[in-house]
Amino acid sequence: MTVGPMLDEWYPVGIFGQLDEAGRKTMLMDEPIVVARDGNGDAKVTDSSGRILPVRVRYGHVWTSLGEPKKELFAIPEADQPGRRFVDVGVVRVRCSPLRAVENFLDIAHFPFVHTDILGAEPHTEVQAYKVEIREDVDEVWATQVQFYQPQAAKSASGGITTQYMYRVAGPTSTVLYKTCPPRPSEWDVITLFVQPLAEDLCDVWPWMALFDDDTPMTDLIHFQQTIFLQDRSILENQVPRLLPLDPGMEMPTRADLTSVAYRRWLKRHNYTYGAQLVAQ
């Protein structure tokens, strides 16, 4: 398997605040790497031959690339907005394709069945029409005007509300969602899923959040998001086929799957195929 153009993209490889000089041994797309803090306190990433890889420290995490990034790491302007709380949710390993982890994050229709009584509840199962586009200027997938009824949309929500969402795919394994911020209706809460591809069917997932919520203790914010993601994990580990199919085959997408369809199309257009299945089987 050659990695192809995904080699030149940025990937999360650790929480910056948890680095030490001994370093964290991990993998990036089958390549062993070490993520450490050097004598100056800066993040340093090396591959198995000792080569120093490009590094960015952003959004609580260390980012690197095995290739030569043609673009700067994507921007999340909300990360610099005063008053937000930034939450490093912590790593969770999932035995699934990194692309499937992203695709699941983009899906709304599963909320009532997997995140019952939190992000959805029967009989409120309808996904209303929303808009999806590939924004050519920034080369990102965006879904907007998404809305869904949620019994407990956020830790800061006190009851059921109809939540507005925007979804954004900012890199092949990096996705950001913007959702109604219950305490501050004019702003969006930012919830991300940063996925570190270890192998084509194995990934470390690093959720991160930038929220307006002055009341909820940090631990409760972490646990809310861990609860949601761990409800997804067992589903992700049982998806068949293991790799994300990019060619039309046995699957029949519905209207609710428009974001997934656009994501797959975008992956295919860029030849981002690490973790993908190309010929329908």
226 binds another protein (CB under 8 A): yes
| Binder of another protein out of 128, 227, 254, 271 (CB under 8 A) | 227
Interface with another protein in residues 91-130 (CB under 8 A): 91-93, 95, 116
Which single residue is written with the structure tokens 């650790």? Answer: 14
Least distance (Å) from another protein to the CB of residue 90? 3
Residue number with CB closer to another protein (1 or 230):
230
| Contact window for another protein (CB under 8 A) among 160-168, 189-197, 214-222, 240-248 | 214-222
Residue number with CB closer to another protein (237 or 247):
237
| Binder of another protein out of 233, 267, 273, 277 (CB under 8 A) | 233
Residue 216, classified by CB atoms within 10 Å of its CB into exposed (0-12), middle (13-18) or buried (19+), is middle
Residue number with CB closer to another protein (113 or 135):
113
Binding mask 14-33 for another protein (x = CB under 8 A): -x--x---------------
| Binder of another protein out of 128, 145, 234, 281 (CB under 8 A) | 234
Interface with another protein in residues 174-213 (CB under 8 A): 204
Cα torsion through 129, 155, 88, 185, rounded to 10: 60
Amino acid type, 48: S
| Binder of another protein out of 223, 247, 253, 281 (CB under 8 A) | 223
What is the SS3 assignment for the chain?
CCCHHHHHCCEEEEEHHHCCCCCEEEEECCEEEEEEECCCCCEEEEECCCCEECEEEECCEEEECCCCCCCCCCCCHHHHCCCCEEEECCCEEECCCHHHHHHHHHCCCCHHHHCECCCECCCCCCCCCCEEEEECCCCEEEEEEEEEEECCCCCCCCCCEEEEEEEEEEECCEEEEEEECCCCCCCEEEEEEEEEEEECCEEEEEEEEEECCCCCCHHHHHHHHHHHHHHHHHHHCCCCCCCEECCCCCCCCCHHHHHHHHHHHHHHHCCCCCCEECCCC
Residue number with CB closer to another protein (138 or 230):
230
Residue number with CB closer to another protein (19 or 267):
19
147 binds another protein (CB under 8 A): no
Q: Which residue in 100, 102, 96 sits closest to 203, CA to CA?
A: 96
Least distance (Å) from another protein to the CB of residue 230? 3
| Contact window for another protein (CB under 8 A) among 71-79, 84-92, 104-112, 248-256 | 84-92
61 binds another protein (CB under 8 A): no
Interface residues toward another protein, by CB under 8 A:
15, 18, 88-93, 95, 116, 204, 217-220, 222-223, 226-228, 230-231, 233-234, 237
